[in-house]
């Protein structure tokens, strides 16, 4: 996802041991019994960890995109913490609260980094507005960024992926833990989407050019169908 430039850029414990007297050295048989007992107790005390459920066999790119489209169709709204970082400059980082409601209401509230103090809204009239530190910013100063903002929701993202595959972008899917990594390459540019296997929605996007990282977008703390009202999307 393109970051919103200039205005709304969306980046042991220590245990003390007391001194103790050493007890008399036990015989060999006692030592062996103690070793066995300690080993058994140690095994019983070890925490039982359950690895994350694997994503399973990776589906073809078109099938994964179809799952994503079906998942989005089941949504009425969603909210998340949107974290964006550009690798061109060290300070190009932003963290924002992002909300979406169908048919196409969007609100972004900048919390940290370059987007701090910004409020961007796409309301009922379909026209995006931007305020920075409480003051309105003329649309013409951020026209391109606002155009990208209007297409920043999952639905628009899925359509963009569909168009890239249809236009001939090389597409591959690989299982990665409890997610699928969908890579789209066109020319020297590669976009790598990490799609949650259970939700069938993106949680990360990495873009690279000639193998060098360009940007990173993360959708954290994703909450689906939370009952957002239209009042949330007021400027």
- Give the residue among 2, 5, 227, 4 at the shortest CA–CA distance from 99: 227
Using 50, 70 and 90 to split pLDDT, how confident is the model at 55? Answer: low
Domain ranges of the chain: 61-233
pLDDT in tens, 57-89: 899 999 999 999 999 999 999 999 999 999 988
Number of Cβ atoms within 10 Å of the Cβ of 117: 15
Q: Which helix (H) or strand (E) holds 184?
A: strand 179-186
Cα(60)–Cα(201) distance, integer angstroms: 16
Q: Which helix (H) or strand (E) holds 223?
A: strand 212-224
pLDDT in tens, 159-199: 999 999 999 999 999 999 999 999 999 999 999 999 999 99
Q: What is the mean pLDDT of residues 110-133?
A: 93
Q: What is the mean pLDDT of residues 205-222?
A: 96
Res 48: pLDDT: 38
**Intra-chain end-to-end CA distance of the chain, in Å:** 23
- Give the residue among 226, 230, 180 at the shortest CA–CA distance from 80: 226
CATH number of 61-233: 2.50.20.10
What is the model's pTM?
0.76
Res 1: pLDDT: 52
Cα(29)–Cα(202) distance, integer angstroms: 60
Please provide the average confidence, as pLDDT, over all residues in the chain.
81
The most confident of the ranges 106-115, 130-139, 141-150 is 106-115
Q: What is the mean pLDDT of residues 126-145?
A: 86
**6 or 32, higher pLDDT:** 6
* CA 113 to each of CA 100, 124, 129: distance values in angstroms, whole numbers, following the listed order: 22, 28, 20
Q: Which helix (H) or strand (E) holds 207?
A: strand 202-209
Res 25: pLDDT: 36
Res 144: pLDDT: 83
Using 50, 70 and 90 to split pLDDT, how confident is the model at 141? Answer: confident
Q: Is 19 exposed, middle or buried (0-12, 13-18, 19+ CB in 10 A)?
A: exposed
What interhelical angle do 154-166 and 61-73 show, nearest 10? 160
């Amino acid at each position: 996802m393109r970051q919103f430039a200039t205005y709304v850029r969306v980046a042991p414990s220590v245990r003390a041991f007391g001194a103790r007297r050493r007890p008399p050295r036990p015989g060999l048989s006692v030592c062996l019994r103690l070793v066995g007992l300690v080993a058994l107790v140690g095994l019983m005390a070890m925490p039982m960890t359950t690895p994350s459920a694997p994503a399973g066999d990776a589906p073809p790119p078109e099938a994964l995109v179809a799952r994503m489209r079906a998942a989005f169709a089941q949504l009425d709204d969603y909210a998340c913490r949107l974290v964006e970082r550009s690798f061109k400059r060290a300070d190009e980082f932003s963290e924002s609260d992002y909300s979406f409601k169908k048919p196409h209401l969007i609100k972004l509230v900048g919390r940290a980094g370059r987007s701090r103090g910004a409020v961007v809204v796409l309301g009922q009239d379909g026209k995006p507005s931007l305020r920075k530190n409480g003051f309105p910013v003329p649309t013409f100063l951020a026209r391109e960024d606002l155009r990208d903002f209007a297409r920043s929701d999952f639905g628009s993202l899925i359509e963009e992926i569909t168009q890239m595959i249809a236009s001939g972008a090389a597409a591959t899917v690989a299982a990665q833990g409890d997610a699928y990594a969908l890579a789209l390459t066109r020319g020297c540019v590669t976009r790598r989407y990490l799609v949650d296997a259970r939700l069938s929605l993106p949680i990360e996007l990495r873009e690279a050019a000639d193998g060098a990282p360009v940007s990173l977008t993360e959708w954290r703390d994703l909450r689906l169908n939370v009952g957002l009202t239209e009042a949330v999307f007021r400027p």
